[in-house]
Amino acid sequence: MVCPYCECWEPCGREVYPLPPYSRASEVFAGVLDMHSKDPAVLSLDQLYLQQELVMYGYFREDDIPSLVDIGAAQDLIHDTEL
């Protein structure tokens, strides 16, 4: 990577590295866990239905819905820790 400050090809410590993609897995986990504390049947819901429930109950905005992958991972993690 070329340094934008000195145009050198060797690392000088001032290189600009791209940020890793933002992951909302922890936010989704917190929302699913909170819903699970109120209704344990949340773990057996389909991810698409649970996605709608998370938006409907105000955990996430309609224009910023959580991914189905994160929801499924949160359900699996909660289910695995209950055993």
Domain ranges of the chain: 25-82
Q: Which residue has the higher pLDDT, 22 or 10?
A: 22
Q: Which residue has the higher pLDDT, 51 or 13?
A: 51
User: Tell me, what's the pLDDT at 55?
Assistant: 95
**Rounded to an integer, what distance in angstroms lies between the CA atom of residue 80 and that of residue 60?**
24
pLDDT digits (tens, 9 = 90+) for 26-68: 999 999 999 999 999 999 999 999 999 999 999 999 998 999 9
The per-residue DSSP string of 9-31 comes to SS--S----PPPPP--HHHHHHH
Average pLDDT over residues 8-25: 68
Whether the model pTM is above 0.85:
no
